[in-house]
Amino acid sequence: MLTGDLVRLRPLEPEDADALYRWHNDDEVMRWLQSYYHESLAGLRKRLADRKENSHDKVTLCIETLEERKPIGIVALREADPINARATVDIYIGEQEYWGGGYGTDALRRVCRYGFDTLRLHSIELSVVEVNERAVRSYKKIGFQVDGRLRHSFFRDGQWYDELLMCVLKEELC
Ligand SMILES: CC(C)(COP(=O)(O)OP(=O)(O)OC[C@H]1O[C@@H](n2cnc3c(N)ncnc32)[C@H](O)[C@@H]1OP(=O)(O)O)[C@@H](O)C(=O)NCCC(=O)NCCS
């Protein structure tokens, strides 16, 4: 388990299927995520049952509140490249009432610290739709910097949006 100031990060369990089903079918949660299709509960249960255990290549963790142990979201480090010591991170808080409370920022900081201090990563990157201001602010708060822009790379509700490529180096994480 990884522990932050507000959250605990633990491996996914089959029992998480119901929460994932709610989150993945909540259009507000999914609005700025690379997700195009609504998922069935049966499909999610199968995906959880079939998924590989966490490894250097991919670590997926459930974000729980520290006190109540309530599952509120997911954070994942993926595509870890052992030569260049870089990986990509994805995060979302699925329980909307926890948005803006610092839980996502705390989870992201903790998983990046794990990536740098345990998985020996040197840099961690992500992409974020530019208009997702809360996310961009969250990432900048812990040291991510904008390294580039993908113009019109994200299409949602009939409109094109730019994505920012953001990255944090080991010594920049704060
Ligand atoms: C993006 C996300 C992970 C951020 O985590 P969080 O814990 O909610 O972030 P924080 O509470 O630390 O807030 C980050 C900053 O945004 C600000 N903020 C909060 N609500 C905001 C809003 N509606 N618009 C703009 N900024 C907002 C906060 O004030 C804070 O800045 P500050 O510390 O300088 O005051 C989380 O909100 C989330 O999962 N959202 C839905 C899914 C998503 O967008 N995932 C990211 C895809 S790349």
Residue 37 has pLDDT above 90, yes or no: no
Residue 36 has pLDDT above 90, yes or no: no
Q: Tell me the sheet residues that pair with 156.
A: 159
Domains of the chain with CATH codes = 2-126 (3.40.630.30)
53 C-beta neighbours (distance < 10 Å), count: 8
Please name which of 69, 68, 17 lies closest in space to residue 45, comparing C-alpha atoms.
17
Retrieve residue 43's tokens.
């499909």
Determine the average pLDDT of the residues in 32-44.
91
**CB of 33 closer than 6 angstroms to any ligand 1 atom:** yes
**CB of 164 closer than 6 angstroms to any ligand 1 atom:** no
DSSP state of 53: P
Q: Which atom of ligand 1 is nearest to the CA of 73?
A: 39
User: Given the DSSP bridges, would you call strands 123-129 and 86-93 parallel, antiparallel or unpaired?
Assistant: parallel
- How buried is 5 (Cβ within 10 angstroms: 0-12 exposed, 13-18 middle, 19+ buried)? exposed
d(CA 115, CA 55): 12
51 C-beta neighbours (distance < 10 Å), count: 13
Q: Which atom of ligand 1 is nearest to the CA of 99?
A: 8
Please name which of 106, 109, 129 lies closest in space to residue 170, comparing C-alpha atoms.
109
Measure Cα distances from 84 to 59, 147, 162 in Å: 18, 17, 27
Please name which of 174, 6, 29 lies closest in space to residue 106, comparing C-alpha atoms.
6
**CB of 78 closer than 6 angstroms to any ligand 1 atom:** no
Determine the average pLDDT of the residues in 94-120.
98
Residue 171 has pLDDT above 90, yes or no: yes
Ligand 1 centroid – CA 167 distance (Å): 17
**What's the pLDDT tens digit per position in 46-76?**
999 999 999 999 999 999 999 999 999 999 9
Measure Cα distances from 130 to 12, 57, 133 in Å: 29, 27, 7
pTM: predicted TM-score of the whole model, two decimal places: 0.97
**CB of 99 closer than 6 angstroms to any ligand 1 atom:** yes
**CB of 138 closer than 6 angstroms to any ligand 1 atom:** yes
